Structure 1
Amino acid sequence: MNGKHITKLGFDGRAIGLAQQAGRLREQAGLSRQDILDELRAVQQAPEQYAAGGVYAELAAEILAQRAAAQQNSTVALREAPLPYGVWGAELIDAGAAEQMDLAMRLPVSRAGALMPDAHIGYGLPIGGVLATENAVIPYGVGVDIGCSMMLSVLPLPAGDLGSDEARRLLLKHTRFGAGVSFEKRQRLDHAVLDENTWQDQGILKYLHSKAAEQIGTSGSGNHFAEFGRLYVADTQLGLEPGEYLALLSHSGSRGFGAQVAGHFTRLAEDRHKRLDPAARRLAWLSLDSEEGHAYWQAMNLAGRYALANHDQIHARLSQALGVQPLAQVSNSHNLAWKQQVNGQELIVHRKGATPAESGRLGLIPGSMADPSFVVRGRGNPESLSSSSHGAGRQLGRKAAERSVSKDQMQSYLQERGVTLIGGGRDEAPQAYKRIEEVLARQRDLVDVVAEFTPQVVRMDSGKQDI
């Protein structure tokens, strides 16, 4: 008996696998396929009669749970008006992003929110949106690139010691960018995250483990980068003497592993909320009391750890190639959900393109391929749910940037600032982004600047690998 027979009976989701499992047991007991199909129809029609025990008990319980969820979905309605939320740099934020945030604040599970000055339109929650929900997690409130994050390594070398040609050679040899890329098997490094028992806890994690192992230590396309530059440290807050240092900065995420986890659980959430207002479909949530919600929470956090593992390896490879150990490192995720106390209540705080900025916490806010990035220290502002921007934020979409920014204009911008670019396209041109200084000026009550990084040699995806 295969899934096609089960699906034709009208079983859905997890019930399909449970029906197959029960059917196999009945086959072993000597029943024919038709007899089993008749029994499955009976379970479907009256699951309460089978839930107490026996070979069909687990299937019956799942059918009852699905019906209860469907009944709940039929009564789900959005609030008539959004809950109030804080906005930083409203004049920098396009109307579409604000409308998306308004919609998110109408969800029945939403409790608080904030919109950062780098905000722009995304899928579901806007990029730069911060949303606190009660006992619910929204896969598209975290985003497709789960755990997308930043890392900075301060190196024990004078800022001028690494020439552009040598920096370019190191980045080409020791980093990989683009969809589906990986290091050759003999070049891959081990990392403890790949040995976690968590990979064995869910079928999807078992299935994706080999992909994660293959892509460890690499970066995606789009705005992911690795770059050498000068870090100017004004005081001792990083545990360093004031001055200029050579530093390595990277922006990377959870690769194909995180993207597939996001897609899988988004579909589950949407299935659970088929009668949710169509406008809010991408904001479908999973209760943390549900099996699916618990599974997503586990997979999301694993993807977050895996994303940081990619940074670990990028920085380890390049530091080793230079023959040094970093003097200091700073890292943070900006596409994740956290359990956080908000007004005395534990809520789930989604940051989709927002940096955690609890009091005293260090974080990184990048500019563009040719603009400075900043090390910041959080001020723990409760109105922003202890968050800040995660970058400068786009002011032009990718297609609009390709149409309006010429190759010469982009090259001129890079040359004026002395930046060497490997890869990168006009969709990522500096002109496609808001001015990072203006974005920072709108959030002085959220973070303090600790150090400034100026890029010199930048690598991004070029659509092909230069090895």
Structure 2
Amino acid sequence: MGSKFSGKDLIKLGYPKNNTVNIALGLIHRYRKKEKKERALQEVKEVLLSPEKFLGDGTWGKVAEGLIKPVEVRMQQLKNQRAPFTIFGENEIDELAKRQLYDALKLPVAVQGALMPDAHGGYGLPIGGVLATENAVIPYGVGVDIGCRMSLSIFDLPASFFKGKDFQLQNILKENTKFGMYETHKIKHDHEVLERREFRDLPLLKSLHDKAYKQLGSSGGGNHFVEFGIVHLETVRPEWKIAPGTYLGVLSHSGSRGLGANIAKHYTYLATKQCPLPRNVQHLAWLDLNTHDGQEYWIAMNLAGDYAKACHDDIHRRIAKALGKRPVVTIENHHNFAWKEIVDGKEVIVHRKGATPAQEGVLGIIPGSMTAPGFIVEGKGNPLSLQSASHGAGRLLSRAQCKGTITKSSMTKELENQGVTLIGGAVDEAPMAYKNIHTVMKLQDELVNVLGTFTPKIVRMDK
């Protein structure tokens, strides 16, 4: 910008001497750096004269909101009473996770909560925590990996297809999957999600578009995976057009990559500024959905969820092409997200952080570990769990504990005993790091019906 822009310039134009000046300055320095001072002054003057025209605008909406109805920032007090809640599998859950749920239930916006049997401590809401709130969204109630999800492709190929094809299938995974911060596909695919107008309308998303394009079809580090395995279907649905039996399957677990992580970081920061909370619950800062930032997060979160799905679709398309077969059934679900749902006749925001949607008849996948089966499930719509189920077996040992107690050789031996081939993977994802999936499933038989299982055979993870 030609010459330095200051708050005095805005006050001269007629801006009120309040936080709106700071908001406007921040936006100018962020999004109008390269413009001439006169041009930027003209824009902020237009917003001042007709703020209602700019409500919801990606760049100036927040300034317009500040001029019409500023967001009230005040220290939030926790309630003395917890909102109602139910814990499934209480004896399997660590004290930290319970305490984190209890704290969340005292938020003034909390309506109802639940803890799934795979739960363990996290930031903000525990992993395996479900929380319904009134007209408020908690970025850390959704999690950093927005739209982290499962996707299963079932192919009309018998389980015996694996015989003698171990090497070939390993190569298919090596060539068609990318993991971690730096690996991306040489041949990039376009996807309609990348054409979405949100990428043009919101400056934050615009700045992330290039990263999203490069990372499409790749998976994160940590517990994210793509694996070949055996699907055993006990019960089938008529629309599947497939008989009960055993089949080849591909299961993937990943989220919205750098796009989701940057959205989470940006709006968590805004939430903590607008919603100061006592220190022990500061990660539970929320955005009111009636505010500009609340609306914008909701739009960005939904885009990140759709992008996560697009990544899985790309992975499965690449693998199906390499196999020369099309899947006959696809089952998928998010497990780090927030939804608008009806609870007790009233619309609320249901956060599922590491929890699977389990409305009546809704399909999902609950994975075990590298050596334990995952479960194909159908929800029962239990209101006590806010129509949710676990998102996996859940961690028994933290990543740090794994590094201190599990050796690479003990992990390799366990995989060999179970006939599982691992490409990549670290000790913090060893089978021993997880709870017993069979115990976890028994503790949630009121939440889901089991239709079948997926047993991993060749697992690909980050190095």
Q: Is the 8 A contact 1:180 1:256 kept in 2?
A: no
Q: Could you tell me which of 223, 229, 249 is aligned with 1:247? A: 249
1:235 is displaced (CA, Å) by 2.6
1:268 is displaced (CA, Å) by 0.4
Secondary structure at the aligned position of 1:266 is classed as helix
Instruction: Assess, with a 3 A threshold, how the Cα gap between structure 1 residues 7 and 440 changes in structure 2: closer, same or farther.
Output: farther
Q: Is the 8 A contact 2:61 2:292 kept in 1?
A: no
1:329 paired residue number = 330
2:204 paired residue number = 204
1:64 is displaced (CA, Å) by 7.2
1:52 is displaced (CA, Å) by 9.0
Instruction: Assess, with a 3 A threshold, how the Cα gap between structure 1 residues 189 and 4 changes in structure 2: closer, same or farther.
Output: same
Instruction: Assess, with a 3 A threshold, how the Cα gap between structure 1 residues 198 and 95 changes in structure 2: closer, same or farther.
Output: same
1:345 is displaced (CA, Å) by 0.2
| AA in 2 matched with 1:390 | H
Instruction: Assess, with a 3 A threshold, how the Cα gap between structure 1 residues 15 and 165 changes in structure 2: closer, same or farther.
Output: same
| Stretch deviating more after TM superposition (343-352 or 407-416) | 407-416
Instruction: Assess, with a 3 A threshold, how the Cα gap between structure 1 residues 312 and 22 changes in structure 2: closer, same or farther.
Output: closer
Q: Is the 8 A contact 1:340 1:349 kept in 2?
A: yes
Distance 2:226 2:111 in 1: 37
Instruction: Assess, with a 3 A threshold, how the Cα gap between structure 1 residues 57 and 149 changes in structure 2: closer, same or farther.
Output: closer
Instruction: Assess, with a 3 A threshold, how the Cα gap between structure 1 residues 390 and 61 changes in structure 2: closer, same or farther.
Output: closer
| Stretch deviating more after TM superposition (348-357 or 236-245) | 236-245
Distance 1:456 1:122 in 2: 30
1:58 is displaced (CA, Å) by 8.7
Deviations 1:346-405 (A, max 9, x none): 000000000000000110000111211010000000111100000000010001011111
Whether 1:105 aligns to 2:105 is yes
1:10 is displaced (CA, Å) by 8.6
Distance 1:353 1:335 in 2: 5
1:84 is displaced (CA, Å) by 2.5
1:28 is displaced (CA, Å) by 3.6
TM-score (norm 1): 0.88
2:389 paired residue number = 388
- Structural mapping, 1:135-146, within 5 Å: 135-146=135-146
Secondary structure at the aligned position of 2:158 is classed as coil
1:213 is displaced (CA, Å) by 0.4
| AA in 1 matched with 2:439 | E
Whether 1:117 aligns to 2:126 is no
1:358 paired residue number = 359
Q: Could you tell me which of 62, 77, 99 is aligned with 2:66? A: 62
Distance 1:121 1:408 in 2: 28
1:207 is displaced (CA, Å) by 0.6
2:153 paired residue number = 153
Distance 2:332 2:424 in 1: 24
Q: Is the 8 A contact 2:51 2:68 kept in 1?
A: no
Q: Is the 8 A contact 1:179 1:220 kept in 2?
A: yes
- Structural mapping, 1:43-62, within 5 Å: 62=66
1:188 is displaced (CA, Å) by 0.9
- Structural mapping, 1:405-416, within 5 Å: 405-416=406-417
Distance 2:272 2:264 in 1: 12
| AA in 1 matched with 2:141 | G
Instruction: Assess, with a 3 A threshold, how the Cα gap between structure 1 residues 60 and 342 changes in structure 2: closer, same or farther.
Output: closer
Q: Could you tell me which of 273, 277, 298 is aligned with 1:271? A: 273
1:408 is displaced (CA, Å) by 2.1
Q: Is the 8 A contact 2:272 2:285 kept in 1?
A: yes
Deviations 1:28-83 (A, max 9, x none): 49x9xxxx9xxx9xx9xxxxx99999xx99958626754x512xx14x21011322
Deviations 1:257-293 (A, max 9, x none): 100000000000001023x211111100001110000
TM-score (norm 2): 0.89
Whether 1:176 aligns to 2:178 is yes
1:7 is displaced (CA, Å) by 11
Alignment identity in percent? 47
| AA in 2 matched with 1:252 | S
What residue ranges of structure 1 are gaps of 5+ in the alignment? Answer: 44-48, 463-467
Secondary structure at the aligned position of 1:161 is classed as helix
1:79 paired residue number = 79
Distance 1:24 1:210 in 2: 20
Q: Could you tell me which of 15, 19, 35 is aligned with 2:24? A: 15
Distance 1:457 1:25 in 2: 54
1:134 paired residue number = 134
Instruction: Assess, with a 3 A threshold, how the Cα gap between structure 1 residues 119 and 140 changes in structure 2: closer, same or farther.
Output: same
| AA in 2 matched with 1:369 | M
| AA in 2 matched with 1:112 | Q
Q: Supply the RMSD in Å over aligned alpha carbons.
A: 3.0
Instruction: Assess, with a 3 A threshold, how the Cα gap between structure 1 residues 382 and 61 changes in structure 2: closer, same or farther.
Output: closer
Q: Is the 8 A contact 2:62 2:292 kept in 1?
A: no
Secondary structure at the aligned position of 2:161 is classed as coil
